[in-house]
């Protein structure tokens, strides 16, 4: 309602209202005390907004946010088993069999066999899958730009640090740690 109802497809929607002035690090509205559960709902709402924007952007490529996450991880870390993949992503905690299956059927991924373990599969990007990555990288960059329009670098680092602490010891927290802590460009993981 307050926001422009239509977003320009292909780019990340610009915000029409900006409460925080990015020129002032740490600047925000008056520090209202927190109502019960308010923080949790703020996190929920933030995730929803981010996911919807991301979904519209990658939807242009015929992908969903989960698809995008998997493609990016596979390009970043190289081929891996379903189990290892599950330990690197936030979507589909546990085994992402079905999402991988969808991507295999669309020709973006390949299911290979592990010669050392006939239970395991080795998931590899196909050429077509790899072809999605420049656009995905561009979208990620645009999303980060939209975040930068709303939050100062100081605020971003502050929130990230707090959330990392909150997630310490959780499965998804460990997944993000594996994924973002050290960034081994195209280093296939083995276990």
Partner DNA sequence: TCACATTTGATGTTACGACATCTATTATAA
Partner DNA sequence: TTATAATAGATGTCGTAACATCAAATGTGA
Among 79, 143, 178, 189, binds a second copy (CB under 8 A): 143
185 binds, among a second copy, DNA, none (CB under 5 to 8 A by kind): none
State the residue for tokens 């933030």.
46
Among 10, 24, 25, 34, binds a second copy (CB under 8 A): 34
| Alpha-carbon gap, residue 163 to 161, rounded angstroms | 5
Among 91, 135, 143, 167, binds DNA (CB under 7 A): 91
Q: How far is the CB of 49 from DNA (least distance, A)?
A: 7
5 binds, among a second copy, DNA, none (CB under 5 to 8 A by kind): none
184: left (phi over 0), alpha (psi -120 to 50) or beta: beta
Among 20, 102, 124, 156, binds DNA (CB under 7 A): 102
Q: SS3 of 129, please? A: helix
Q: Tell me: does residue 40 bind DNA (CB under 7 A).
A: no
Give the CA distances from residue 87 to residues 1, 29, 119, 153, 170, in Å, rounded to whole numbers and listed in that order: 39, 38, 17, 28, 11
Q: Tell me: does residue 143 bind DNA (CB under 7 A).
A: no
Report residue 28 CA to chain centroid gap.
Answer: 26
Tokens of 131: 């072809």
| Alpha-carbon gap, residue 102 to 105, rounded angstroms | 5
Q: Tell me: does residue 66 bind DNA (CB under 7 A).
A: yes
147 binds, among DNA, a second copy, none (CB under 5 to 8 A by kind): a second copy
Draw the binding track, 96-135, toward a second copy (x: CB under 8 A; -: no contact): ----------------------------------------
| Alpha-carbon gap, residue 112 to 171, rounded angstroms | 26
168 binds, among DNA, a second copy, none (CB under 5 to 8 A by kind): a second copy
175 binds, among DNA, a second copy, none (CB under 5 to 8 A by kind): a second copy
Cite the DSSP H helix spans in the chain.
Answer: 38-59, 65-77, 82-86, 97-105, 127-131, 133-150, 153-167, 171-180
Q: How far is the CB of 116 from DNA (least distance, A)?
A: 7
| Alpha-carbon gap, residue 152 to 154, rounded angstroms | 5
Binding site for DNA (CB under 7 A): 48, 51-52, 55-56, 64-67, 81-84, 86, 90-95, 97-102, 111, 114, 117-121
């Amino acid at each position: 309602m307050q926001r422009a109802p239509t977003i320009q497809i292909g780019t990340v929607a610009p915000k029409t209202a900006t409460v925080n002035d990015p020129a002032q690090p740490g600047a925000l509205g008056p520090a209202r005390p927190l109502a019960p559960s308010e923080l949790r709902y703020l996190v929920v709402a933030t995730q929803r907004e981010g996911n919807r924007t991301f979904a519209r952007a990658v939807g242009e490529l015929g992908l969903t946010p989960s698809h995008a996450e998997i493609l990016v991880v596979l390009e970043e870390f190289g081929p891996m088993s379903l189990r290892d993949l599950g330990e690197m992503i936030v979507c589909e905690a546990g085994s992402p069999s079905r999402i991988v299956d969808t991507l295999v059927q669309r020709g973006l991924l390949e299911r290979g066999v592990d010669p050392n373990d006939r239970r395991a599969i080795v998931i590899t990007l196909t050429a077509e899958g790899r072809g999605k990555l420049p656009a995905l990288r561009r979208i990620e960059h645009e999303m980060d730009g939209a975040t930068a329009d709303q939050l100062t670098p100081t605020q971003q680092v502050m929130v990230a640090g707090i959330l990392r602490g909150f997630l310490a010891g959780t499965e998804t927290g460990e997944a993000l740690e594996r994924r973002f802590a050290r960034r081994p460009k195209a280093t296939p993981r083995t276990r």
